[in-house]
Amino acid sequence: MKKFIKDEVYHIVYEDLNEFFALTDPKNPSKDMHRNNASQLKDLGSDTNWRYGDEKNRENFYVQRFSPTKGKSLCADAVKKTMADKSYKKLITQALTYKKRIKYEDVGNRISVAKAITGEDKYFARFTNSKKPTVKICINICGSASVNQEAFIEIAKTAIPTIYALETAGLSTEVYYCAFARGTHEDAAEYTATHVKIKSSQQRFNWTTFAPVFCLGSYRESVFASWINSEHNVDGGLGQPMNDSAIRKFNNFDYAAVIGLNAVGPVETVNEIFKSLGKTTGS
């Protein structure tokens, strides 16, 4: 785990899910935790639907956070609908054609007439495909106390088909489970950004890896604990979600897409990502 403050933002970064859950266990508080945060940590012990959603209590949450069943059942229809969408199919077909890069050499069989006329030594053109980039996706799960479980599930149901679509197009994805907030700590930066890598560019999509995204407790226990375990004094109300304009101010924290409570649909999201990568989408 890394913690650092940069440009008004207190970043908390976890390398993977195992590290995230190990270091946010309420029963094992950080030795560096600010002394005033103990009461907040104690509050995480309440077993309520508000904190754990369908799982109802911590025990069930700990079982379900690595179970692929919930995510599969919730997203099956959303994935099928996206894959069957005519706009999506057209988008993928066009996106698979990558821009060609031209390199000029002194031997070959495709002559650049313009370069030959000007007398340049290297006037034979060689075309190669551009290297396929890795697309960094953020699933921003941060929401206010009044937001219900269904709203969080909708974030996941947008994110999963988006990731499927990008991988179908042959693009590697690196996916982070995030929470972008404001005012979580009284003596740190104005904003807090928690980042948990749940998929590297080398890994294939795996329902078990994405299971925590569908559990409300991953946010209202584990992310909360990541803030409370800080060496900084946590705000009594744990702050509020960072708004979209603030996220854009920080250039989406270098993510190609931030999928949160106000996200558009998967096809629209993929289209915007392709545009940002310089692809021809025909739109």
Same domain, 261 and 180: yes
Between 202 and 106, residue with greater pLDDT: 202
State how far the Cα of 56 lies from the Cα of 59, in Å rounded to an integer. Answer: 9
CB atoms < 10 A from the CB of 120, how many? Answer: 12
Confidence of residue 116 (pLDDT cuts 50, 70, 90): low
Same domain, 123 and 237: no
pLDDT of residue 278: 66
Beta bridge partners, 234, equal 185
The stretch 28-40 carries a mean pLDDT of 93
Residue 252 belongs to some domain of the structure: yes
Same domain, 26 and 42: yes
Instruction: Return the SS3 of 192.
Output: strand
Same domain, 68 and 111: no
Write b or e for each residue in 101-110: b if 16 or more Cβ atoms lie within 10 A of its Cβ, otherwise e: eeeeeeeeee
Could you give the number of structural domains in the chain? 2
> Contact, 132 vs 251, CB < 8 A?
no
84-97 confidence digits (pLDDT tens):
888 878 777 765 55
State how far the Cα of 265 lies from the Cα of 78, in Å rounded to an integer. Answer: 10
Confidence of residue 98 (pLDDT cuts 50, 70, 90): very low
Kindly state the percentage of the chain with pLDDT values over 90.
58
Residue 283 belongs to some domain of the structure: no
Same domain, 125 and 148: no
Residue 282 belongs to some domain of the structure: no
Same domain, 73 and 194: yes
Residue 196 belongs to some domain of the structure: yes
Residue 281 belongs to some domain of the structure: no
Nearest to 251 by CA among 185, 174, 193: 193
Same domain, 240 and 107: no
Residue 69 belongs to some domain of the structure: yes
The contacts of residue 78 (CB under 8 Å, 6+ apart) are 157, 158, 160, 161, 266
> Contact, 259 vs 137, CB < 8 A?
yes
> Contact, 216 vs 69, CB < 8 A?
no
Residue 126: pLDDT over 80: no
Residue 201 belongs to some domain of the structure: yes
Q: Which domain holds residue 74?
A: 2-93+131-276
Residue 33: pLDDT over 90: yes
Mean pLDDT (the chain) is: 87
Same domain, 66 and 117: no
What stretch of H or E contains 214?
none
Same domain, 179 and 47: yes
